[in-house]
Amino acid sequence: MLKLISSSCIHRLNPAAVPVLRPASDSASPLLRVLNSLGGLSRSNRYLGGRLFFCSESESGDGPDHVVDAEAKAAEETPSKAASSAIVSTYPRPEDYLTVLALPLQHRPLFPGFYMPIFVKDPKLLAALQESRDRQAPYAGAFLLKDEPDSDPNVVSSSDTEKSVYDLKGKELFNRLHEVGTLAQISSIHGDQVILIGHRRLRITEMVSEDPLTVKVDHLKDKAYNKDDDIIKATSFEVISTLRDVLKTSSLWRDHVATYSKHIGDFTYPRLADFGAAISGANKLQCQQVLEELDVYKRLKLTLELVKKEMEISKIQETIAKAIEEKISGEQRRYLLNEQLKAIKKELGLETDDKTALTGKFRERIEPKREKCPPHVLQVIDEELTKLQLLEASSSEFSVTRNYLDWLTALPWGEYSDENFHVTRAQKILDEDHYGLTDVKERILEFIAVGKLRGTSQGKIICLSGPPGVGKTSIGRSIARALNRKFFRFSVGGLADVAEIKGHRRTYIGAMPGKMVQCLKNVGTANPLVLIDEIDKLGKGHAGDPASALLELLDPEQNANFLDHYLDVPIDLSKVLFVCTANVVEMIPNPLLDRMEVVTIAGYIADEKMHIARDYLEKTTREACGIKPEQVEVTDAALLALIENYCRESGVRNLQKHIEKIYRKIALQLVRQVETNDDAIEPKKAEEFFDEMGTTTIQKGNPVLIESGNSEHTNENAKLDEMETNPPADQSLRVDNKSTDMEVTKEEEDKETESKTVEKVLIDKSNLDDFVGKPVFHAERIYDQTPAGVVMGLAWTAMGGSTLYIETKFVEEGDGKGALHITGQLGDVMKESAQLAHTIARDILREKEPENTFFANTKIHLHVPAGATPKDGPSAGCTMTTSMLSLALKKPVKKDLAMTGEVTLTGKILPIGGVKEKTIAARRSEVKTIIFPSANKRDFDELAPNVKEGLEVHFVDDYMQIFDLAFGDEKSHNAEK
């Protein structure tokens, strides 16, 4: 190969006449033939790699002078060929440009004969480049940008990569440029992208103008060299040899060589050096060193070092690729061996897929519970594990058995949480969470006391009944906390599928155990507290009757062996404490109700609601809204008005919603107050500050001035920006003086902020409407003194209880026209009570006033307001009778009197329900005297003292006693005050 190189003349052909690489049979360059033969180059490949590309023809002038002259001459003699090339021949020639625009290059220098795209962000520089191109002078100087002082050129930080080189201007940019660069032709401009083609080396001599940066340059030529020098030949041959080795491993290099050799023309020693340095992966400083070297031999040596280093990198790359390939092939080999091992074990019956590992997992899970686990359950688990070994993993039975074993081994067999039987602690916890509810708390404490004496607690079924919002569900949580039991809640409202309780059969796809089995798995203990919510709203559908399915779950005699359809093994639920909740006990089926111990929560009176609102609801809501106690005050009168006029129901859920509504509006009011104060102060200070500076005057309403927190910092930045644009003569003095003034202003502002306090929000009865709107409920009492024919009764409602007026009016009078007309959305029972009352009233009137023929000759109309509300029940019988007698006698009943009781045809008074609710309703209407049946005396005695306070209660068992009390008889029967 050396002989081949020595017998040829490298630059004997005119490059302008040979635009592409010639075949080996032509008199092309020996170096080019060597690269072509060694690299297997293809003329059809065009590759633009990285940031460096290749021009179609080089007029670099880096070779000897006669080469440059030959190129110029060829360009003049063959204008048609020059016009077809990428570089358009222009006049004057490139070497005539002694003043050029300076383009900074950030990443790598541009070598002669190469393309490079750059992005120009500076509009002035871009316009200057476009103007130069339009003037048929499309040349500029491309110079590499020096690194910042004290920075490592080999370390690239994110700030360096994101920073634009065109942030540098004028002299600062001139000082950062390397002296030696490349004269570049502006090939094309697309937007802010400029395509440059390197021609020849330049050296900066001085700066001409700053914006855009224009410099004077000297055109550099390579030093003269002897092309027949053996050392130069040997060095170039070593470069080619190294390139050949790299070409074997890197297809990227082959594409570089193919594209370059196709467009470069003749391959001279200087161009070989530039080519090796340009396509190497060396850093920009090493490439700049090659660009600055004018000695061809030294440049070849530098390029040889770079390609040798590239060869070492290629070897490392090949080693890494080989290691990764071996790793991948090793993993494939291991996979094949594992598959073969599985097949061998399967043939020998040693293992079937992963069933051994799965079985081991189940055995490991059940092992700690084996001593506590019932024997019949252990037997089923062992049988299923044996069955699992015999099943194929692809069969459907395999997945069913696996899921079954997963549930069986996950249940807490014999694992119980340690209960706390400390009665005082339980009392404290219950009082912390709930106010009142003495009956419920006593029942829970009794349960704990029995458990402490026995040493163990047996599960009971407690049913908490009461209207919505009285805290039934939260009581269940408090009981669990007091007993130190795990808590699990599931609602059965609307439940119509028995499988939700008893589980599905395992034969069904997607079968699951019932709620109780899921509960035990979730809580991890066999003695949790299970809250069954809304048990009175159980549904009944085509999938069975869930209420009947609950019998086995809630029956203390049966739940010790509860059988779930999915597990199909008995489960002991006797240690589980069941707490059920219901709104209406009558909706619960009797067989299910018989298994429960009902604890009634009648609701809260106004006093209890006041305590709950103060001690629980208000505190929680205030913290949730981020309001401090000293910022707001809600008076007792406001809370009482809220309870009586907006939240009259038995529960406190609606009361909590109204309190939350009040505090949300308070929060909005406080925030608006603070922002209004800030907006009133900050713009004024900013205006004064800018006026004193004398630089500009800020108009009111500028959004910059409404920022809170850093207003003065913002003003200072605006001031400095303004001073940079128009710097005053005494800038430093004014800034120093102003900074002192700013410190004084900030101190004054801090003092003013500290002295400024937000006004306290007061919620009173007078302004309660502004927060919650107009009252929902009005006074139930329609009459201060009921007229003749009108009597106040007491009724139970889902909201706790209310007063009920019975009104009777005569329609017409005449012989034999006695009749009764009834209105008011009354139910069948209440209609019958009205007929019954009419008969009793006629009998009593005949006895009291035999000559009075009112009922015989008068048609009367009985109405029960409100007319749109359905009403039913027998407890209004005595009230209807009294109303008719009052009309017949034309005598009103005693003032502030209310009564309730079912009356029989003989005048006996039968007991009623809802004593507490009716008593609360009477107190709310300011009733002083109440008449109850004698049988309800026991219920009234159990009421709290605050409920009975201030009431005169009479207990009667015959209607004549009511007659005496209602119509002014001074006799008192069984009265309690």
- In DSSP notation, 35-52 reads HHHHHT--TT-----TT-
Q: How confident is the model at residue 448 (pLDDT cuts 50, 70, 90)?
A: confident
pLDDT band at residue 71, thresholds of 50, 70 and 90?
very low
Mean model confidence pLDDT for the chain: 76
Where does the pLDDT of residue 219 fall: very low under 50, low under 70, confident under 90, or very high at 90 and above? Answer: confident
Match 């069948």 to its residue by tokens.
Answer: 828
Judge whether 473 is annotated as a binding position. Answer: yes
* 139: exposed, middle or buried (Cβ count in 10 Å: 0-12, 13-18, 19+): buried
Judge if 626 and 742 occupy the same domain.
Answer: yes
Phi and psi angles of residue 689, each rounded to the nearest 5 degrees, phi first: -65, -45
* CA–CA gap between residue 159 and residue 526 (Å, rounded): 62
> In the predicted model, what is the mean pLDDT of residues 622-626?
89
CA dihedral angle for residue 358, residue 359, residue 361, residue 363, rounded to 10 degrees = 170
Looking up residue 739, the CATH number of its domain turns out to be: 1.10.8.60
The residue whose two tokens read 């390579």 is 222
Residues 736-742 have a mean pLDDT of 45
3-state secondary structure of 312: helix
CATH, residue 299: 1.20.58
Helix (H) or strand (E) run with residue 591 in it: helix 590-593
Count of Cβ atoms closer than 10 Å to residue 936 Cβ: 21
Q: Is the pLDDT higher at 945 or at 488?
A: 488
Task: Please indicate if the annotation marks 79 as binding a ligand.
Answer: no
The DSSP output letter for 617 is I
Quick one: which of 233, 311, 293, 241 has its CA closest to 269? 233
CATH classification at residue 217: 2.30.130.40
Domain boundary among 91, 121, 140: 91
pTM: 0.53
Does 214 count as an annotated binding residue?
A: no
Looking at residue 757, its pLDDT comes to: 54
Both 67 and 106 in a single domain? no
DSSP E strands in 716-834: the ranges are 761-763, 790-795, 802-813, 819-823
pLDDT given for residue 779 in this prediction = 62
Residue of 8 and 514 predicted with greater confidence = 514
Is 467 flagged in the annotation as binding?
yes
> Which of 41-50, 253-262, 318-327, 527-536 has the weakest average pLDDT?
41-50
Nearest C-alpha neighbor of 185 from the set 258, 103, 266 = 103
Write down the pLDDT at residue 736: 45
Active site residues: 875, 918
**According to the model, what pLDDT value does residue 162 have?**
44
> What band does 681 get if pLDDT is binned at 50, 70 and 90?
low
Whether 693 has a pLDDT exceeding 50, the answer reads no
297 found inside a domain: yes
Q: Is 123 annotated as a binding residue?
A: no
Q: Helix 731-755 to helix 711-725 angle, to the nearest 10 degrees? A: 170
Say whether pLDDT at 909 is over 90: yes
> Which residue in this structure is represented by tokens 């107050």?
673
Return the C-alpha torsion angle 746, 750, 756, 760, nearest 10: 130
Residues linked to residue 202 through DSSP beta bridges, in sequence order: 181, 219
- Asked if residue 300 has pLDDT above 90, the reply is no
Among 324-328, 698-702, 848-852, 882-886, which range has the highest average pLDDT? Answer: 882-886
Same domain, 720 and 841: no
pLDDT at 960: 92
Same domain, residue pair 794 and 902: yes
φ, ψ of residue 811 to 5 degrees: the values are -100, -55
Mean pLDDT of 610-616: 88
Please check whether residue 346 lies inside any domain of the structure.
no
Count other C-beta atoms under 10 Å from residue 886's C-beta. 23
Same domain? For 540 and 610 the reply is no
**Rounded CA Rg of the chain:** 51
pLDDT of residue 92: 62
Q: Is residue 345 part of a domain?
A: no
Q: Quick check: 365 pLDDT over 60?
A: yes
* For residue 2, pLDDT beyond 60: no
Is the Cβ–Cβ distance between 183 and 141 less than 8 Å? Answer: yes
Specify if 172 maps to a domain. yes
Say what angle helices 959-966 and 877-889 make with each other, to 10 degrees.
50
Q: Mark which of 410, 440, 475 sits at the end of a domain.
A: 410
Q: Is 529 helix (H, G, I), strand (E, B) or coil?
A: strand
Mean pLDDT of 791-811: 85
The pLDDT of residue 727 is 47
Report the distance separating Cα 447 and Cα 165, nearest Å: 82
* pLDDT band at residue 589 under the 50/70/90 scheme: confident
603 annotated ligand binder: no
Asked whether residue 198 falls in the same domain as residue 234, the answer is: no
Characterize 222-256 residue by residue with b for buried, 16 or more Cβ atoms within 10 angstroms of its Cβ, and e for exposed: beebeeeeeebbebbbebbbbbbbbbebbeebbbb
The CB-side HSE value for 411 (13 A sphere, CA atoms) comes to: 30
User: Do residues 435 and 403 both lie within one domain?
Assistant: no
Distance CA 663, CA 621 (A): 7
- Are 448 and 576 found together in one domain? yes
Give the pLDDT score at 878. Answer: 93
Output the pLDDT for position 260. 58
Which position has the higher pLDDT, 351 or 573? 573
- Are residues 701 and 843 both part of a single domain? no
**CB neighbours of 81 closer than 8 A, spacing ≥ 6?**
16, 17, 19
Three-class DSSP category at 822: strand
Model confidence over 643-676: pLDDT tens digits?
888 887 778 888 999 999 999 999 998 888 888 8
Is the CB of residue 921 less than 8 Å from the CB of residue 802?
yes
953 annotated to bind ligand: no
- Comparison of pLDDT for 158 and 256, the residue scoring more: 256
Q: Is residue 719 part of a domain?
A: yes
d(CA 935, CA 906): 17
Taking the CA atoms of residue 390, residue 393, residue 395 and residue 398 in that order, the dihedral angle to the nearest 10 degrees is 70
Q: Which domain range does residue 131 map to?
A: 97-150+158-221
Q: In what order do the strands lie in the sheet with 577-582?
A: 487-491, 529-533, 577-582, 461-465, 597-600
- Does 687 have pLDDT greater than 90? no
In the numeric block, the tokens 């306070």 are attached to: 949
- Per DSSP, 758 falls in state P
Angle at which helices 230-249 and 30-39 pack, to 10 degrees?
A: 20
Lowest mean pLDDT among 56-70, 260-274, 722-736, 816-830: 56-70
The answer, yes or no, to whether residue 505 has pLDDT greater than 90, is: no
pLDDT band at 250; cut points 50, 70, 90: low
On whether the CB atoms of residues 108 and 73 are closer than 8 A, the answer is no
Q: Has residue 143 got a pLDDT over 60?
A: yes
Residues forming a β-bridge with 761: 632
Task: Give the per-residue pLDDT at 562.
Answer: 87
Specify the CATH number for the domain of residue 955: 3.30.230.10
Banded model confidence at residue 956, pLDDT cuts 50, 70, 90: very high
Helix (H, G, I), strand (E, B) or coil at 975: strand
pLDDT band of 495, cuts 50, 70, 90: confident
pLDDT for res 837: 92
Output DSSP code: residue 714.
H
pLDDT higher at 341 or 54: 341
Residue 84 has pLDDT above 70, yes or no: no
Extract the tokens encoding 112. Answer: 């002669």
Please, are residues 197 and 140 in contact by the beta-carbon 8 Å criterion?
Answer: no
Residue 881: predicted pLDDT: 94
> Higher model confidence: residue 306 or residue 162?
306
The answer to the question of whether 472 is labelled as a binding residue is yes
Interval 614-637 mean pLDDT: 89
Residues 385-439: tens digit of each pLDDT: 888 888 877 788 888 888 888 888 888 888 888 888 888 888 998 888 888 888 8
Instruction: Give me the residues paired with residue 822 across strands.
Output: 862
User: How many percent of the chain have pLDDT more than 90?
Assistant: 11
In the predicted model, what is the mean pLDDT of residues 895-906?
Answer: 91
Residue 352, CA atoms < 13 Å, CB-side half-sphere: 14
User: What would the two tokens of residue 801 be?
Assistant: 């209880």
- Percent of the residues in the chain that have a pLDDT greater than 70, as a whole number: 76
Q: How many beta carbons lie within 10 A of that of residue 2, not counting itself?
A: 11
> Which H/E stretch holds residue 599?
strand 597-600
Based on the domain organization, do 74 and 123 belong to the same domain? no
- Report pLDDT for 900: 93
Number of structural domains, the chain? Answer: 7
- Decide if pLDDT at 78 tops 60: no
Is 976's pLDDT higher than 70? no
Element (H, E) at 878: helix 877-889
Residue by residue, DSSP assigns 97-138 as --EEEEEEESS-PPPTTEEEEEE---HHHHHHHHHHHHTT--
The secondary element (H helix, E strand) that includes residue 824 is none
If 0-12 CB within 10 Å is exposed, 13-18 middle and 19+ buried, where does residue 874 land? middle
Does residue 968 share a domain with residue 908?
yes
871, β-bridge pairs: 826
Report d(CA 63, CA 222) in Å as an integer: 6
- Whole-angstrom distance, CA of residue 210 vs CA of residue 763: 72
pLDDT for residue 101: 85
Q: Is residue 550 part of a domain?
A: yes
Confidence band, pLDDT 50/70/90 cuts, at residue 835: very high
CB under 8 Å to 779, separation ≥6 — which residues?
925
In a domain, 469, yes or no: yes
The answer to whether 846 touches 863, Cβ cutoff 8 Å, is no
Count other C-beta atoms under 10 Å from residue 434's C-beta: 18
Domain stop point among 600, 625, 649: 600
- Say how far residue 747 (Cα) sits from the centre of its chain: 42
Q: Does the residue 327 lie in any domain?
A: no
Query: Between 921 and 744, where is the model more confident?
Result: 921
Weakest-pLDDT range from 260-269, 411-420, 508-517, 704-713: 704-713
Whole-Å CA distances, 568 to 563, 575, 576:
6, 20, 19
Task: For residues 587 and 445, state if they share a domain.
Answer: yes
| Beta bridge mates, 463 | 580, 598
